[in-house]
């Protein structure tokens, strides 16, 4: 299996083939488009295995950085065309919730939260055992501040009551869990989870409206 997350500033890469594993976290300032594929090759070489031996690809589809999400999904789709595999789709919320439960063993429900910029936030509610209790959504600052349950966010965003930096090992563990549960998707189902329009799209729409 090859598992990948490029949805936020820090990219996570995990490779497990023939019972051997290798992991890498790319620096937050690293350009994912230039370094992720090279890093996968490095990990494969370190294990002395070939990508042709891989049977599963897992990727975090968002929410998060619009560019980062596109990079991860496009890369996995490209790898799958060259060597068809079982495909696993994770969200940033799934990974945050898994890491939080593993490390903190919560007693109550909680929200995973991500900064959507411009005063908005992506949120998703989970039970203490990781069961999804609500669909991912976008809320404004007032609604975000009104949440009384524990808020779990990314450390790099300095957001939430508990801040986490998920590891590539946790990415692999969650991907393997989905694999064992048979949670596979088709290539057409492997699409970015944006939740809201990018600033560029909003600006373009506003420009079009002004010209009408």
Residue-wise pLDDT tens digits, 28-71: 566 666 789 999 999 999 999 999 999 999 999 999 999 999 99
Query: What is residue 202's predicted lDDT score, i.e. its pLDDT?
Result: 44
Query: What is residue 197's predicted lDDT score, i.e. its pLDDT?
Result: 61
CA 62 to chain centroid, in Å, comes to 5
- What parts of the chain have a pLDDT lower than 50? 200-202, 204-206, 208-209
* Residue 11 to residue 119: CA distance in whole angstroms: 25
Q: pTM of the full predicted structure?
A: 0.90
Instruction: Please classify residue 174 by burial: count the beta carbons closer than 10 Å to its beta carbon, then call 0-12 exposed, 13-18 middle and 19+ buried.
Output: buried
* Residue 143 to residue 145: CA distance in whole angstroms: 5
Query: What is residue 212's predicted lDDT score, i.e. its pLDDT?
Result: 59
Residue with tokens 């946790």: 170
Query: What is residue 211's predicted lDDT score, i.e. its pLDDT?
Result: 57
Query: What is residue 195's predicted lDDT score, i.e. its pLDDT?
Result: 86
Which domains are assigned to the chain? 2-92+166-198 (3.30.420.40), 93-164 (3.30.420.200)
């Amino acid at each position: 299996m090859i598992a990948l997350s490029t949805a936020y500033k820090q990219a996570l890469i995990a490779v497990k083939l023939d019972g051997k594993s290798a992991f890498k976290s790319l620096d937050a300032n690293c350009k994912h488009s230039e370094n992720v594929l090279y890093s996968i090759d490095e990990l494969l070489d370190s294990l002395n295995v070939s990508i042709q031996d891989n049977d599963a690809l897992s990727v975090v589809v968002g929410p998060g950085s619009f560019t980062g999400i596109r990079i991860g999904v496009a890369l996995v789709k490209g790898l799958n065309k060259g060597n068809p595999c079982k495909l696993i789709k994770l969200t940033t919320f799934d990974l945050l919730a898994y890491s939080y439960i593993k490390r903190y063993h919560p007693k109550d429900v909680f929200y995973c939260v991500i900064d959507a910029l411009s005063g908005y936030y992506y949120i998703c509610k989970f039970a203490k055992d990781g069961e999804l209790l609500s669909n991912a959504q976008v809320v404004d600052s007032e609604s975000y501040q009104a949440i009384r349950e524990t808020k779990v966010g990314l450390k790099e965003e300095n957001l939430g009551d508990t801040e986490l930096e998920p590891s590539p090992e946790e990415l692999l563990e969650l991907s393997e869990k989905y694999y064992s549960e048979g949670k596979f998707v088709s290539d057409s189902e492997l699409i970015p989870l944006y939740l809201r329009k990018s600033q560029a799209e909003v600006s373009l729409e506003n420009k079009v409206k002004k010209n009408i």
